[in-house]
Amino acid sequence: MPLYHNDDQAMLKDSVAPFVAEQAPVSHLRKLRDSADATGFSRDLWAQFTEMGLPGMLVPEDHGGLGMGHMEAGIVLEEIGRNLTPSPFLSTSVGAVAALAKARGTQASRWLPAIASGEAIVALAIDEGAKHRPDRIATTATRAGNGFRLDGKKSFVLHGHVADMSIVAAKTDGGITFFAVPKDAKGVTADPRRLVDSSLASHVTLDGVEVDADAVIGEVDAGGEILDALLAATRTGAAAEMVGVGQGAMDMTVAYLKERKQFGKLIGEFQGLQHRAAHLYGEMEVARATVMKAQQLLDEGNEGAKLMVSVAKAKAGRAANLAVREGVQMHGGIGMTDEYDIGLYMKRDRALAEYMGDVHYHIDQVARMNGY
């Protein structure tokens, strides 16, 4: 498979890009932020996403979705990134779908169609501290009655306070087990915190939460593969969104270099800025290729996907971070103002960079996967 979008994918991009740019440009984010919106995204917009069939892109066709791949989801995520659009797409339509589709079974049959129809928002309760350490899950699930009792604390749960269901990773006797914990379950408290990018992420407390045995996603103790699928999909998705954020910031900045005058010249005439912009272009192109490669390997079910996913999250993290830092610096004073959008790109990049493992985490993973 060549590493560029095929005709169908190009058509998808041609319909999604103007849709997101028109319906949810940066001003949409500003409106939610300035009205202190308590949901974290617009349900009207999500209904429009649903009309386009987007929430169920990755849902298998036999569960009411479109059965598309990560390459296609990446096209949507890049536009979401470019427009800083708040939406539950990454957690619900990418991460949760990957986990449920991997697990199959009762919970998959129940939730996948609901995601595809836009009815269900699903949150991912994986992290437990300020840093992403999925190999150290301490939340416990102990057998109780017909089912399990969940105890622990989760953090950085995007949309956790409004999700219809949370996918909770917990330790069981022989490994990791995933549970579908519904919104109204007794003993669950979601404490939403406003983050730097105006999104809402919850600290979720599980205090003796009792769930039935059929709340298990997949099999008991066999959550390792589900975790891998969830993480690979979400990380690749976050990387794709970061490519959009970086590209959006770079485009804005290059445009600014062509209009801002100082010393009687367009600042884009100065070689000091030209070289930095050209270097950034190279980094963004490499990041884009890397993310596409990860998407392609995931879609093929290739065993090399895991390495490339970490490479993509790290590389996109580095490149987008460079794009937003150079963006603010090259905009000068105006880049520091709230009124101008470039700062919002910097904020979103920071949140995405942290999500599901930051650059340093994934660089370390790459070393481990190469035997050092």
Q: Closest CB to another protein among 10 and 336?
A: 10
Question: Distances in Å between the alpha carbon of 286 and those of 60, 181, 243?
Answer: 31, 39, 10
Find the part of the chain contacting another protein (CB under 8 A) among 107-115, 190-198, 252-260, 334-342.
252-260
Find the part of the chain contacting another protein (CB under 8 A) among 22-30, 63-71, 139-147, 266-274.
266-274
Check binding of 17 to another protein (CB under 8 A).
Answer: no
Q: Closest CB to another protein among 270 and 340?
A: 270
109, 274, 302, 337: residue in contact with another protein (rule CB under 8 A): 274
45, 52, 195, 254: residue in contact with another protein (rule CB under 8 A): 254
Q: Which x/- pattern over 51-70 shows residues binding another protein (rule: CB under 8 A)?
A: --------------------
Spatial distance between the Cα atoms of 112 and 120, rounded to a whole number of angstroms: 9
CA angle 223, 118, 11 (to 5 degrees): 95
Check binding of 293 to another protein (CB under 8 A).
Answer: yes
185, 311, 323, 324: residue in contact with another protein (rule CB under 8 A): 311
131, 164, 266, 325: residue in contact with another protein (rule CB under 8 A): 266
Q: Applying CB under 8 A, what is the total number of residues that bind another protein?
A: 43
Check binding of 105 to another protein (CB under 8 A).
Answer: no
Check binding of 24 to another protein (CB under 8 A).
Answer: no
182, 281, 300, 337: residue in contact with another protein (rule CB under 8 A): 281
Check binding of 14 to another protein (CB under 8 A).
Answer: no
Check binding of 268 to another protein (CB under 8 A).
Answer: yes
Check binding of 282 to another protein (CB under 8 A).
Answer: yes
- Exposure of 51 by Cβ count < 10 A (0-12 exposed, 13-18 middle, 19+ buried)? exposed
Find the part of the chain contacting another protein (CB under 8 A) among 141-149, 154-162, 196-204, 283-291.
283-291
Sites for another protein among residues 161-220 (CB under 8 A)? none
Check binding of 285 to another protein (CB under 8 A).
Answer: yes
| Neighbouring residues of 298: CB distance < 8 A, sequence distance ≥ 6 | 69, 70, 232, 233, 236, 305, 309
63, 315, 331, 348: residue in contact with another protein (rule CB under 8 A): 315
31, 143, 193, 279: residue in contact with another protein (rule CB under 8 A): 279
Sites for another protein among residues 325-364 (CB under 8 A)? 362-364
Find the part of the chain contacting another protein (CB under 8 A) among 16-24, 38-46, 135-143, 290-298.
290-298
Q: Closest CB to another protein among 235 and 362?
A: 362
**In one letter, which amino acid is 145?**
G
Spatial distance between the Cα atoms of 5 and 155, rounded to a whole number of angstroms: 36
- Min separation Cβ 308 and another protein, Å: 7
Q: Closest CB to another protein among 216 and 291?
A: 291
Q: Closest CB to another protein among 225 and 251?
A: 251
Helices 359-369/305-331 angle, 10° precision: 150
**Binding stretches for another protein (CB under 8 A):** 2-4, 254, 257-258, 265-266, 268-269, 271, 274-275, 277-279, 281-283, 285-290, 292-293, 307-308, 310-312, 314-315, 318, 362-364, 366-367, 370-372
